[in-house]
Amino acid sequence: MNQLRNALDLYINSSIHVSLAIVAFAIITFLNYGIPVDKDLCLFIFFASITGYNFVKYAGIAKLHHLSLAGNLRIIQVFSLICFLALVYFVFKVKTIILVTSGILGLLTLFYAVPFLGAGKNLRSLPSLKIFIIAVVWAGTTVLLPLVNEGRIFGVEEIVDFLQRVMFVILLTLPFEIRDLNYDQKSLETIPQILGIRSTKILGSILILLIAGSEIIQTSFQQEDFIAMLVCLAVAGFMLWNSKTHQAKYYASFWVEALPMLYLAIYVMLMRYPLHTLF
Kindly report, residue by residue over 199-243, the tens digit of the pLDDT: 999 999 999 999 999 998 887 788 889 999 999 999 999 999 999
Banded model confidence at residue 163, pLDDT cuts 50, 70, 90: very high
**pLDDT over 90 at 47, yes or no:** yes
Banded model confidence at residue 113, pLDDT cuts 50, 70, 90: low
**pLDDT over 80 at 64, yes or no:** no
Banded model confidence at residue 127, pLDDT cuts 50, 70, 90: low
pLDDT at position 67 is 44
What is the rounded CA–CA span in Å between residue 136 and residue 155?
A: 18
| Residues 174 and 200: beta-carbon distance below 8 Å | yes
Amino acid residing at 179: R
| Residues 189 and 200: beta-carbon distance below 8 Å | no
- The counts of H helices and E strands in the chain are 12, 0
- Residues 6 or more apart whose CB falls under 8 angstroms from that of 40 comprise 90, 93, 94
pLDDT at position 62 is 47
| Residues 251 and 197: beta-carbon distance below 8 Å | no
Q: What is the CA radius of gyration of the chain?
A: 19
What is the rounded CA–CA span in Å between residue 227 and residue 248?
A: 29
**pLDDT over 70 at 124, yes or no:** no
Q: Please state, rounded to an integer, the average pLDDT across all residues of the chain.
A: 88
